[in-house]
A and B are shown apart, each in its own frame.
Chain A
């Protein structure tokens, strides 16, 4: 038996081009569906885990899928904003704790997410380096975001301008990186987090005033009238919030009207969750409540349907490839007729010839299997990334 494999191996080595093509074809046919399933499994795990951890989500009435993808996975694509009043309403019911999320902006291709500090407690996100944001203008990076941006505590990062051609629009804000979060294997790893109020400054709802101008306009200080000082103070579109100008930053208007993308509602118990959902039954209201797990499951079912279609196609392609493989082998047998005759004339039994051929097939299958396993192993770290890319992009 050992000699059979030796002779088969020598034969395959001699015809290495043909052998390589066969191995590549077989391994490709086998690894494609397996890789696809790995990506789907990673996507299912990744999405379900996140959705399971998020009991209820409140946002603008419309696409529940867009709302869920935007608030939970920070997917690109603008979700209509709701007002902060909605979060106050949820808190006032006493049935749930609201966690507002404002995920409108992106910074160097990464989601810039405005949250309150409670979000970090809820998602169990702790800084691996540095601290969580403390002051206006601070940000904390997800583990992958820090790696991608090559930034750490003490570095700065400029937010993207709302509109480069809008002279009256918002200016980029220089964010101070205070920390890097420990890896959580969730979309939080790819995000840049700021406090909700910093997100509103980026949105142009808060600004600072030039202190030097203000002081000059108060000649009778310390008893100058406040109204004069305020009227003369020049509006400065700060691009950086520093300890010196921090106190001059303020917001105009009612904070209850400020925008947020969604609210993660954490009900205190099942009864509270039911009561809260009952508040959003009115179809004419501007806001809606969704259960992310239901939305995600619906989305995954669609994805799995596409996956099943791919499986069907791959079975057909695989079948065709096997037929071709058999044909190639049959043709090669015909070409090797004289060689087989010689082996027979040398005194070998017909069975020996069959064993030699079987050893060749077995070796090709084994090598293809090894290549397939290597491809699967190599693709493992990218499965989540690919799932995120194909499902969310």
Chain B
């Protein structure tokens, strides 16, 4: 009986030790999580899909701000400096990059592989919306990820950076990349199939952010500089009429749901409003994939009403 009791105590002690060491091991693994900062939501989504629970992915731009026009303060820069990887969209997306001090070896330009295919925007206009103040779209078009082939290349750049940082996770990362690229390829194929039906269909865009979408899927697209929540001035409506004279579009694409007054006024001109959200910031519901699937559904209504 005495021996059994001793054996029980020894067993309890061993179990406690094993449990404690497991907990310590788990916390050690937790500490080893990669810290990733992404400059926009598509990159954050790619990193989350590729790294899974092995990384903490942060999108420092506030939810109410377009990350393309966000300016980090010293505190945000300090937080970025502590990251293991800083994922950049490239294509002149991070205009704040020239104003901050960041470790260059941790910066990953995800669009570097197709740098030679950037679209340059000439004769852009200055306009303002929201708290970000005035801005212009002159320079390089930066909404690179809505060309899903380019998005796949950006995802591959994220995967390569992860593998370089954690070679031991190569197999897991490559598997995740394959799945992500498969999803992106499906989106790409779907849009190709939809747009192929009416290749020369004239379309209007409310904002000049669809350049890569138009190029990849051969859209006959012209842009104005309107914001979803603002009624454009009379001068802009006059400009639209002039454009429509030579470009008889029946649909205008918006980044988000436009103001009902604008929708009604457009409808009076025979133009329907459809949303194609570039999803630059984290959506309130769903994720990058669901937002893009919804975009495709909206686009389908344009080409197959």
- Could you say which of B9-17, B51-59, B125-133, B141-149 contacts chain A? B125-133
Once A134-B74, A134-B78 are accepted as A-B contacts, the answer to whether A224 and B125 lie under 8 Å apart by CB is yes
The residues in B between 214 and 266 inclusive whose CB is less than 8 angstroms from any CB of A are 225, 233, 235-236
Tell me if B100 counts as interface (CB < 8 A to partner A).
yes
Once A132-B81, A246-B99, A247-B99 are accepted as A-B contacts, the answer to whether A222 and B134 lie under 8 Å apart by CB is yes
Tell me if B7 counts as interface (CB < 8 A to partner A).
no
Contacting pair A135 B77 (CB below 8 A): yes
The 9 closest A-B pairs by CB, nearest first: A195-B101, A222-B128, A117-B103, A134-B77, A226-B136, A134-B74, A133-B101, A116-B104, A222-B127
Give every chain B residue within 8 A of A220 (Cβ-Cβ): 235
Q: Residues of A within 8 Å of B, CB-based: how many?
A: 33
Contacting pair B138 A226 (CB below 8 A): yes
The binding surface of chain A is classed by DSSP as mixed
Once A121-B103, A138-B101, A197-B101 are accepted as A-B contacts, the answer to whether A222 and B73 lie under 8 Å apart by CB is no
Which residue of A has the minimal Cβ distance to B101?
A: A195
Complex CA–CA separation, A218 to B106 (angstroms): 39
Once A135-B77, A218-B134 are accepted as A-B contacts, the answer to whether A225 and B126 lie under 8 Å apart by CB is yes
Give every chain B residue within 8 A of A58 (Cβ-Cβ): none
Contacting pair A243 B73 (CB below 8 A): yes
Q: Can you list 23 A-B pairs, Cβ within 8 angstroms, ordered by A?
A: A97-B105, A116-B101, A116-B103, A117-B104, A118-B106, A131-B78, A134-B101, A135-B101, A136-B99, A178-B74, A197-B99, A221-B126, A222-B126, A223-B125, A223-B127, A223-B233, A223-B236, A225-B126, A226-B125, A227-B123, A243-B73, A247-B96, A251-B98
Give every chain A residue within 8 A of B124 (Cβ-Cβ): 226
B150 to chain A, nearest CB (A): 21
Which residue of A has the minimal Cβ distance to B97?
A: A197
Give the residue of A195, A206, A222 whose beta carbon is less than 8 angstroms from that of B129: A222
Tell me if B213 counts as interface (CB < 8 A to partner A).
no
Give every chain A residue within 8 A of B136 (Cβ-Cβ): 226
Which residue of A has the minimal Cβ distance to B102?
A: A117
Per-position 1/0 for A280-315, Cβ under 8 A of B: 000000000000000000000000000000000000
Q: Residues of B within 8 Å of A, CB-based: how many?
A: 30
Give every chain B residue within 8 A of A206 (Cβ-Cβ): 98
Once A195-B101, A197-B98, A249-B99 are accepted as A-B contacts, the answer to whether A134 and B81 lie under 8 Å apart by CB is yes
Give the residue of A197, A229, A251 whose beta carbon is less than 8 angstroms from that of B126: A229
Tell me if A185 counts as interface (CB < 8 A to partner B).
no
Contacting pair B126 A136 (CB below 8 A): no
Tell me if B293 counts as interface (CB < 8 A to partner A).
no
Q: A135-B74, A222-B129, A224-B125 are in contact. List 4 more A-B contacts (CB 8 A).
A: A116-B103, A117-B101, A117-B104, A225-B126
